[in-house]
Amino acid sequence: MDSPTVSFTLSLVAAYIFGVSEDDIVCLEDLTVIDEFEETIMESSQSGNVLENLLDGEIPATEDSLSKGTIQSYRKVSRYWETLQASPKSSLEKQSEIRVCSYNVLCQQTTTKTMYLYGHLKWIRCLLQETYWGCKGWLCSFYQKTKFEVVSYRIVEYFVAPNTSMDRDQIGQIIRVRCKTTRQELIIANTHLIFNTGRGDIKIGQLAILLANIYEVMMSSSSCPLIMTGDFNMEPLSYVYTYLSESRYLVPYLHFILTIERIVLVFIVPRPSVPSDYFTHPLILTSVYHHKNSKGKIEISTYHKDAANPDFIFYSIQQKSRNDQDTKVYELPNLQLLRRMSLPDLDILQSTLGPWPNKLVPSDHIPLVADFLITGGKNNSTMR
């Protein structure tokens, strides 16, 4: 049978992730608009009585296949919805709930190199083919056209010059959209950073380029919140993570060997001066996930030979405050995190379905999913 067109395949992938029709999605990929789909907001469950709700069929069938497999075969809950705050029942301001999903899908080159992982399949059809697209850092972003309109769209290339540290092919995407209900604008950034575990310097360089472009798009008109997603190929609390989440990183002497003189980065923003050995950016971000579950076990988003957590969703906040016990996040009035699909820990994965991909998990990563509330017109912040 002939392979489906790329647009049709993309629509099927999007429809699978959200459990809806593929008739109304817009796909942005290297300035190419492809077929379109409409997402529906799925009601989320409380974390309490999760197993009972799932076994009783009270949670919709669009829950991910990992959750279904561990519940049906092992009666263990691997993922569930965590509610951070309830959706407001009434408000004087216009509001809209949105769902953000970040998913690292295996590319053709990776699949053909690891065919032993696909013994349960009689066929392999992969969406991403480097030989066709000619780009190692291929990305794809979808948005719901009935809910958003695109204000601007930008591809960010991390390649600076040949034969330098910044000669890699990874890219980023920046989409500025406007919510049709609230008229609030929002920036969505998507990226996949270099994999090399020994080149955190390059990852910081790639992030610096992306953040500089995000800030330029943000300041092109009125300032607006940011949601940034992707596979950052970093671990929580690493120095690359610290740079992103804390807005600065202390560069060790002779450690940061990136040829930064080849990169022109200008942040025109009034802020206190910092020591010259700090690498900084002007955005205030926090992670949707806390990286450890309620039992204190490390969350996992990729699991093959090793287990790790390189996938993230960050979003703009107003400020953070810390004490010895915890960190308080003060959210922006126009962007608030409502709920997130939890991530599993290694113990439950080892005791159930094992490494990915397998017969129920099609990639070596699982999707990150979070629901936000967009509001227009409020001036007070929300603490959580």
Domain ranges for the chain: 23-41+64-332+339-375
The answer to whether 279 and 243 have CB atoms below 8 angstroms apart is: yes
Rounded distance between C-alpha atoms, residue 84 and residue 312, angstroms? 17
b/e 305-322 (16+ beta carbons within 10 angstroms → b): eebbbbbbbbbbbeeeee
pLDDT of residue 372: 96
Question: In this structure, are residues 312 and 229 in contact, taking their beta carbons and an 8 Å threshold?
Answer: yes
Whether the pTM exceeds 0.75: the reply is: yes
Name residues whose C-beta falls within 8 Å of residue 292's C-beta, 6 or more positions apart in sequence. 298, 299
Residue-averaged pLDDT of the chain: 77
- One DSSP character per residue, 136-193 reads TT---EEEETTTEEEEEEEEEE----TTSTT----EEEEEEEEETTT--EEEEEEEE-
Stronger pLDDT, 262 or 117, i.e. the higher one: 117
Instruction: Look at the block and give the residue holding tokens 């540290």.
Output: 165
Both structure tokens of 168: 């890699």
Q: Do 106 and 130 meet the contact criterion of CB atoms below 8 Å apart?
A: no
More confident of the two residues 139 and 375: 375
**pLDDT at position 41, please?**
29
pLDDT tens-digit readout, 5-37: 444 455 555 555 555 556 667 777 543 333 332
What digits encode the pLDDT tens for the residues 360-378? 898 899 999 999 999 985 5
HSE (side-chain half, CA atoms, 13 Å) at 210: 27
Contacts of 212 (CB under 8 A, 6+ apart): 265, 266, 267, 281
**Alpha helix positions (H), the chain:** 6-18, 50-55, 65-74, 108-113, 130-133, 200-218, 239-246, 346-350
Which two structure tokens, joined as six digits, stand for 96? 């809209």
Q: Of all residues in the chain, what percent carry a pLDDT higher than 90?
A: 45
248 vs 276, higher pLDDT:
248
Tell me the CA distances in angstroms from 109 to 125, 186, 302, one per residue in order.
12, 34, 18
Which tokens belong to 201? 């310097």
The structure tokens listed for 137 are 């850092």
Span 23-41+64-332+339-375 CATH architecture: 4-Layer Sandwich (3.60)
Q: What is the pLDDT of residue 178?
A: 96
